[in-house]
Chain A
């Protein structure tokens, strides 16, 4: 039996995902698919995460890289699991944004979604798990995509970004119950849901902003140093050229 990476090309995930989206559109347009928010939302969620997982799964990678990502994912997950003593501080988003900024979009996505799964294995899985995987993964990707701009390494910009991330994360996390359990879905519904979770989102955003402002430089230096120590720099160039 040939290994997975030989059988499938790393970029085939994109093709599959685009195919799924086209099928979804056909379903919505011709077969009343928009009546089934729940199924549709899960399909879209899975299809939008598939290419990244596919790419990570099928490309060659060393043990060093996997362990490196595991350390970062653990530190991010610890932000939720071990910080019960300090209720205001959940540094998970901070760690994920830092990973994206230093190691690029793919690493950011993998660390974000893995830390969501693992922290939920300790805190309890629920219908929110896939949404958390998506939200934190997207956070890592977007942080990774902007890392080549000079402004992305400005502390004030990062603080604003942290605030925005806090709200975006909260809004994505509101979707899982609003989409299924509230009828009808219109703009009023979403505004009400976002108002209801305003305080939590604000707390999350402010925490992330403060942490990014205060600790950006030291964490950036640490992760970059270990990136070179582990010899991940070559992998880094490869990621830059291949994906995105």
Chain B
């Protein structure tokens, strides 16, 4: 019993400690990481690049504790991946190595290969968004955009707060309807859906009435009487500057290399060689470092901790 308690406690403290270093950075740094990685996965179309990127993204997701969602995303996106992998060879008849023909459609090795690479790239993007959703919380998202357009951010903020509130109200309404003898969870799907929209109608009337009060209290507290100020939860620290200081130049270098054709495999008209030149390997290293930015921070922290501890 005690052991179990201790285990639970350690898990609880573990949850507190589990905030990554990456999550503590300024949202702008996090945001630029995601922009750069997603762009990289679309720019470097080369199987070695894509596989390395995939491995690192899986690693980042593993560290960011979104393991279960990873499987879910892969299951959910199987339709799109299959679509891309099948459609590319079917509609694309270019390529030198024909392996199959039917009804005037040529299936070429090149097209299959291209479809495979594209599907890989899509999977990388989808997996990257998993840790994005975990790391860039709605609060940080709001922080990023509150300076650019305060009114829209306010609107989004209010909407964001209304969603859980309205779900609770919807539950209340459905309970009241159940007491009256109307159960929206029974019947054919048509009856159910009509019941749901009727409930939403009730919700709309009720919420409009309540929201009027909210708006008036906002006015009473001086909304619109002057320039809006906003509370900045995240500061731009020295560490953020240091991170951006190497991250941005490195990604600039990588994109420059990409514009020179490095890290882009020749597929059409005939499949090129898989091998990479020396600069190719260097660019691959750069891309790997870019992708593993959160892992590097984590490893650095771990090293530092262990060095100081001993």
In the bound complex, CA of A57 to CA of B155 (Å): 11
Within 8 A of B (CB), among A170-229: 177, 180-184, 186, 188-189, 192-193, 196, 207, 211, 214-215, 218-219, 222-223, 226, 229
In the bound complex, CA of A4 to CA of B94 (Å): 53
* Given known contacts A89-B197, A121-B138, A193-B87, A38 and B42 CB-to-CB distance under 8 angstroms: yes
Closest chain B residue to A91 by CB distance?
Answer: B197
Which among A66, A117, A121 is the interface contact of B154 at CB below 8 angstroms? Answer: A66
Task: Tell me if A62 and B224 are in contact (CB < 8 A).
Answer: yes
Task: Tell me if A211 and B197 are in contact (CB < 8 A).
Answer: yes
* Given known contacts A62-B224, A75-B200, A83-B196, A183 and B88 CB-to-CB distance under 8 angstroms: yes
Task: Tell me if B193 and A222 are in contact (CB < 8 A).
Answer: no
Which among A38, A57, A117, A127 is the interface contact of B149 at CB below 8 angstroms? Answer: A57
Q: 4 shortest A-B CB distances, which residue pairs?
A: A74-B162, A89-B193, A63-B218, A70-B158
Task: Tell me if B227 and A184 are in contact (CB < 8 A).
Answer: no
How many residues on chain A are close to B (CB under 8 Å)? 67
Closest chain B residue to A60 by CB distance?
Answer: B224
Which among B156, B193, B214 is the interface contact of A114 at CB below 8 angstroms? Answer: B156
Interface majority SS on B: helix, strand, loop or mixed?
helix
In the bound complex, CA of A169 to CA of B167 (Å): 26
In the bound complex, CA of A68 to CA of B208 (Å): 7
Task: Tell me if B163 and A78 are in contact (CB < 8 A).
Answer: yes
Within 8 A of A (CB), among B272-310: none
Given contacts A63-B218, A125-B129, 7 further A-B contacts (CB under 8 A): A60-B224, A63-B216, A70-B162, A74-B159, A77-B159, A180-B118, A229-B212
Give the chain A neighbours of B133 by CB distance below 8 A. 124-125
Task: Tell me if B149 and A78 are in contact (CB < 8 A).
Answer: no
* Given known contacts A86-B192, A211-B197, A64 and B215 CB-to-CB distance under 8 angstroms: yes
In the bound complex, CA of A79 to CA of B125 (Å): 26
* Given known contacts A71-B208, A230-B212, A182 and B155 CB-to-CB distance under 8 angstroms: no
Task: Tell me if A66 and B204 are in contact (CB < 8 A).
Answer: no
Give the chain A neighbours of B266 by CB distance below 8 A. none
User: Within the complex, what minimum Cβ distance (angstroms) separates A116 from chain B?
Assistant: 11
Task: Tell me if A70 and B151 are in contact (CB < 8 A).
Answer: no
Give the chain A neighbours of B212 by CB distance below 8 A. 64, 67, 229-230
Task: Tell me if B84 and A75 are in contact (CB < 8 A).
Answer: no
Task: Tell me if B155 and A114 are in contact (CB < 8 A).
Answer: yes
Task: Tell me if A115 and B159 are in contact (CB < 8 A).
Answer: yes
Give the chain A neighbours of B155 by CB distance below 8 A. 66, 69-70, 73, 110, 114
